[in-house]
Structure 1
Amino acid sequence: MPTDIKCPKCGFGFPMEDAVSEEYKKELREKMLAYQKQKDEEVKKQREEFEKKEKSLQETLSRNEQELARKLAEEKNKIRTSLEQDIRKNIAGDFENQIRLLTEANQSSDEKLKEARRKELEYLRKEQELLAKEEELQISLQKQLIEARASLAEQIRNEEIKRTELKETEFQLKLRELEKQLDDQKKLAEEMRRKAEQGSMQLQGEAQELLLEEILQEQFPNDLIVEVGKGVEGADCMLIVRSITGTEYGKIIFESKRTKGWNNSWVEKLRNDMRNKQADVAVLVSNVFPKNMDCFGEKDGIWICTFKEVAGLT
């Protein structure tokens, strides 16, 4: 049963838990929007830093490529220069030796021509070796560049995964925190509603007891009405029947109920109250009746009636 809150000026009523929930939901939405905005700004800042770092790595990689190309060119020039010098020295020495040998040994010109051709072939072979070495250096450079790019891409992927996981974890923790706060507020609203209902039921019970006492006082002004105790579980009041001179003839114990359904335990409980209070008659005043009863009557030694039937029953 929801508890309503009424405006003291306009009299408009609304459920108390709705007021608490809507206000807190609005506060939670504002907190979530602020938190999301903060996280978006952090992600933007991290992405800018990441792009800056990536640009720096690309520049470093480009410089490394240029440096490797420069070193390769220098190495090629050194090898080529050294090879050419060796070949020239060998060829020059060979030619000088050939002239000396031709002069000294008078060898045939055919043999010298063959030797010159052999030297020329040797030169071509060494030139091919130089080209092969240049190609090997070029392949090594390309391999280093591919490995560097792959390493950079892997580093970028790992950093992006870590940032995504961290962001998701922080978001889930914040969401759980806000959900718990909302759940706590719902529990608080439910507890406030329950306490308000308990207070309302107690007030209704006390008002019902007062009404019963007023009816008895009006109908039996010469009799004595003794209050058992408002808010105390058990019988509501005792009617001591007296004569005009004050002589007591008997005691009638009363208990009132206003509920949606009948409970058979009320009869046994009121019988116990009758014995404890040493009453002669017990009357249960209720707006509901047990099965097979629709008006005042007796059940297991207890009289049952409505508020309208109280005067007639006594």
Structure 2
Amino acid sequence: MKRKAEQGSMQMQGEIQELALEELLRTTYPFDEIDEVAKGVRGTDCIQTVVNSLQQSCGTIVYESKRTKNFSNDWTDKLKQDQITCKADIAVIVTETFPNGMDRFGEKNGVWICGFHEVKSVSFVLREMLVKTQAVKSSDENKGDKMELLYTYLTSNGFVQNITRIVENYDGMTNQLNSEKKAMHKIWASREKQVWVVQENISALFGSIKGIAGKELATASVLELPDTSFEE
């Protein structure tokens, strides 16, 4: 009776972990498809269909949840067979106990093994692998067609018109900038001439007054020529 009770308790805990695993995946990856495995497929709990930002299917990950005191090496063989049946790209065992020689997540016989506390990080890495792989496949697909489309565009009137428009705007901005520089130089030259005229008139006016008033008028140093005498 005790063994049956313990067995029932372990089974309930295992089912709770399965539900927690599905909820974790759905919460972490809201745009992915997290499905329970159809009846008749043994050894698996759920399948994650990875979907990228372009809403493209990048592959699938099959998960099996285990919560027992001992790890069975038969689990990997069964899950690999279930992986083939489900046509999944990656297989993961989420377990409370690890096989001999493992104390944390890792890969064994083509199956990834991790604890429940590690499944979020492990699933993220495996998911990124599928997304990157899909990106490489997409870039390779229709590569010849893409090159042809690019060549067609580069030799089209639309491309030539765009380049012409860019060059025209650039030339227009350059000419406008040069015109503004020339105009500013003229303004500066005119103002400089006016300043010199004012200075000459002030000097002449002060000289005339100085000639009349003589020494009684103080000398303004700013109007005097610099002292060019040298000591012998």
TM value normalised by structure 1? 0.37
Question: If the length of structure 2 is used for normalisation, what is the TM-score?
Answer: 0.49
Compare CA radii of gyration and give the structure with the larger one: 1
Query: Going by fraction, where is helix more abundant, 1 or 2?
Result: 1
